[in-house]
Amino acid sequence: MFKSKSITPFLFLFPALLLLIIFRISPIFLSFGESFFKKGFGFNAKRIYVGLDNYIRLFEDPILYNSLFVTLKFCIVCIPIQIFLGMSLAVLANQRVKGIFFFRSIFILPIAVSPVVSTTIWQLMLDKTSGLINGILFLFGFTPQPFFLAEEQALWTVILVACWRGIPFFMLFFLAGLQEIPQDFKDAAAIDGANRWQTFWKITFPLLKRITVFIVVTGTILNFILLEPILLITRGGPNESTNLIMWEAYRRGFLYGDLGAATALMSIIVSIVLLLVVIEFRILRTPK
Amino acid sequence: MKIYLKRVGILFFLITMLSANIYSVEITWLLSQTWKVKDSGFIEEFNKAYPDIEVKLEQFPINGVYEQIQVRVGTCQRDPDVIIVNAPFTASYGLKGWLIPLDDVFNKQEKDNFYKASLDIGTYQGKFLSSPIHTSTQNIYYNATIFKDAGLTPPGPDDRLTWEEVRDLAVKLTKDKNGDGAVDIWGFNWEQTTQYYQLQPLFLSKGGKSIGNDGLTVDGIVNSEEWISGMQFYGDMFNKYKASPVTTVRVWEMFRTGQLAMMLAGPWNVGRLSAKDYGFEWGISRHPYFKGGKIVTPTSGWHLGVSACSDQQEASKKFVHWMTTEAGGKAWFSKVRTALSAQVPVNQWILDNEKYQKKPWNNVRTAIDEAGVNPVPRPSMVGYYEYQQTLENAFSDIRSGVSAEKALNASINRLNSELSKYK
């Protein structure tokens, strides 16, 4: 029936696929199923089938729309910054100069630190009364800034923390992409009289397109489900200004024990992310 | 060969005996990481009474404890067996069926030994679900050295300042000592700066209510004039008068390092300040109230409950019983926390104890006395967790400069959304 040649790749893929199905794919479906139930109250209460009630309750709630708006604002600002600066840093780190390994190590340091540790350090550095950043601002005659504590500044500060971590992560992928581009292409362009900008724009950038698509998609997913700075610092505030959608789901499920609403919200998040990824693939796909 | 085998057999037997667990039952206790139970001798004291029960500690920051309870007890995992219960959460956990009744473990006398407010808040629908460890109160702790340096007289142990007097003093005590434009000594702060427990007296002193009579209505209550005015006073201390610091540094750390002149804080600080010389003189006075308003003090504290999904319920009940009756209460106070006991006889034992009659330990006597002055517990309601979390976010916003009216009105949407599932 099957030729051994055609089965072999699947056999190699099987262990990874199995783990993926158990730990990544099946929770999505289990969570989707759970979103149609509600846990009753009282001793030994059973799950009650409520149909679309959890979804209706969410869509009737203005908090959901505010949370979606905040998440969208966060992603629209954060993703382009991460991609632009990630690519710029990768181009710099790709230069063949003495000591470049040292700079590459410095650039990727943020992803070597645990998110919990780095988030806590940012929180201490940005403290209004005793933080390092406010100390520096004070030295230069500026008044102390509230950062995470003010409605107008909190989301931008979260973006700063997310970018600090995200930029080196994406830089690594761009760097890998840049190093795959054969030097011959650039040499040929130079012989044809192209300057550095023209070489980058006409040769390097188009050859990085596959990597860029991957980064845009990954960036969308990672930023959409960002949780650490919100969980550890702002907890959605001040005045819901950093209430990212993942925190909203976490809060409903793990803080308030409303698993029905939380799983419904997770299903909504998965649907939105899928939709965005499809749109991104369509826009960025390479014409045949 | 035979002798050799015999020796190996004896050796094997001895190793097995030595490596065997000396306890027959192990229970897991989920608690706050700020409680220094390990190496305090407290568990050893319990094991004198119950040598066959091993207590395994699982300690988390307090928000982590709440989340662990939601996730693990909420999904009916077999451990933790014993959990700490923030008193007003009893109703919510009771409604969800997370705790087993403890009525069969405590006799009438033991129940009568608890303060009535503590016993009541641990009871849901007639079942005694969480047994109280502490009751509590709050006093003003002051750094007498900072007062002296500023040429001011600190309040005495029986003085009760108005909030307006606290504010005026705090403004005078806030100092930039070296003239660099940065504050070196702050006037005042609340120890649990944004916590509902500590801030409830502000709007109750103004005549406000905590929640509607049905335990779910918030509109017209949380955004009432009394709440707005009480919480605006709180926000003004940070933003208008700039006498309280907006910081993530713990209030206790600022106080013990001489950066804070006054803090409104719990009786556990008597132990901390008495146990070590921090290089300044200190004292305590009574909980403030608003001029023309009511005297209201916070009360209630941590309780213990046994998870309904524990498979070691009998051993867990024994632990809860021991810890929240006289022997455990005394051991807890003397070895772990100088927080007030929820048991009248234990507090009487503290008052009679010679150690607590001498300075500075005698300050705990003021705290015990204050605990009886119009204590008002937090509302016992099924949605307390949502209520507390939402309001604490609003309080945090007010501290950051959002007007009390705006922050409290904004919290109504969230509260209505979260409490609707209980209607």
Give the model's pLDDT for residue B187. 97
Backbone phi and psi for residue B269, each to the nearest 5 degrees, phi listed first: -70, -20
Query: Mind listing the domains of chain B with CATH numbers?
Result: 2-136+300-369 (3.40.190.10), 139-296+383-422 (3.40.190.10)
Query: Mind listing the domains of chain A with CATH numbers?
Result: 52-284 (1.10.3720.10)
Q: Is the pLDDT of residue B206 over 90?
A: yes
Give the model's pLDDT for residue B16. 55
Where do we find the tokens 């973006």? A159
Tell if the CB–CB gap between B413 and A63 is shorter than 8 Å.
yes
DSSP-derived secondary structure for B284-332:
EEPPPB-TTS---EE---EEEEEBTT-S-HHHHHHHHHHHTSHHHHHHH
Token representation of residue B277: 């010389």
DSSP-derived secondary structure for A145-209:
P-GGGSHHHHHHHHHHHHHHHHHHHHHHHHHHHHHHS-HHHHHHHHHTT--HHHHIIIIIHHHTH
Cα of first residue to Cα of last residue in chain A, in angstroms, is 34
Task: Name the residue of chain A whose CA is nearest to B245's CA.
Answer: A129
Q: Which of B383, B372, B378, B334 is nearest to B354 (CA)?
A: B334
Tell if the CB–CB gap between B396 and A237 is shorter than 8 Å.
yes
Most B CBs within 10 Å, among A31, A34, A39, A43, to test the B interface? A43
Rounded distance, CA A262 to CA A223, Å? Answer: 19
- Separation in Å, CA A26 to CA A33, A248, B109: 11, 22, 54
Asked whether the beta carbons of B196 and B388 are under 8 A apart, the reply is yes
Of A179-183, A225-229, B193-197, which gets the smallest average pLDDT? A179-183
- Identify residues of A whose CB sits under 8 angstroms from chain B CBs: 41-45, 57, 61-63, 123-124, 127-130, 138, 146, 149-151, 235-240, 251, 254-258
Minimum-distance CB partner of A257 among B96, B396, B414: B96
A61 Cβ contact list (under 8 Å, min separation 6): B417
Q: Is the pLDDT of residue B22 over 80?
A: no
Give the model's pLDDT for residue B240. 96
Token representation of residue B301: 């504290």
Tell if the CB–CB gap between B401 and A236 is shorter than 8 Å.
no
Give the model's pLDDT for residue B21. 54
- Identify residues of B whose CB sits under 8 angstroms from chain A CBs: 66-67, 70-71, 74, 95-97, 181-183, 245-249, 308, 382, 385-386, 389, 393, 396-397, 399-402, 406-407, 410, 413-414, 417-418, 420-422
Q: Which residues does chain A have within 8 Å of residue B74's beta carbon, measured at their own beta carbons? A: 257
Range list of H helices, B179-243 = 196-205, 225-239
Asked whether the beta carbons of A189 and A202 are under 8 A apart, the reply is yes
Rounded distance, CA A285 to CA B12, Å? Answer: 69
Asked whether the beta carbons of A219 and A166 are under 8 A apart, the reply is yes
DSSP assignment letter at B398: H
Tell if the CB–CB gap between A41 and B70 is shorter than 8 Å.
no
If you average pLDDT over every residue of chain A, what do you get?
89
Angle between helices A151-180 and A62-93 (to 10 degrees): 40
Give the model's pLDDT for residue A4. 62
Q: Which of B255, B393, B264 is nearest to A151 (CA)?
A: B393
Rounded distance, CA B241 to CA A151, Å? Answer: 21
Task: Name the residue of chain A whose CA is nearest to B415's CA.
Answer: A63
Give SS3 for B265: strand
Angle between helices B344-352 and B363-370 (to 10 degrees): 150
Residue A2 pLDDT grade (very low, low, confident, very high; cuts 50, 70, 90): low
Give the minimum alpha-carbon distance from B7 to chain A in angstroms, rounded to a whole number.
48
pLDDT tens readout for residues A88-146: 999 999 888 888 888 888 888 898 899 999 999 999 999 988 899 999 998 888 888 98
pLDDT tens readout for residues A217-262: 999 999 999 999 999 999 898 888 999 999 999 989 888 888 899 9
pLDDT tens readout for residues B386-416: 999 899 999 999 998 899 999 999 999 889 9
Asked whether the beta carbons of B275 and A154 are under 8 A apart, the reply is no
In chain B, the percentage of residues whose pLDDT exceeds 90 is 73
Q: Report the DSSP pairing between strands B82-86 and B25-32.
A: parallel
Most A CBs within 10 Å, among B421, B422, B423, to test the A interface? B421
Q: Which residues does chain A have within 8 Å of residue B66's beta carbon, measured at their own beta carbons? A: 255
Tell if the CB–CB gap between A235 and B401 is shorter than 8 Å.
no
Rounded distance, CA B269 to CA A262, Å? Answer: 40
Give the model's pLDDT for residue B263. 98
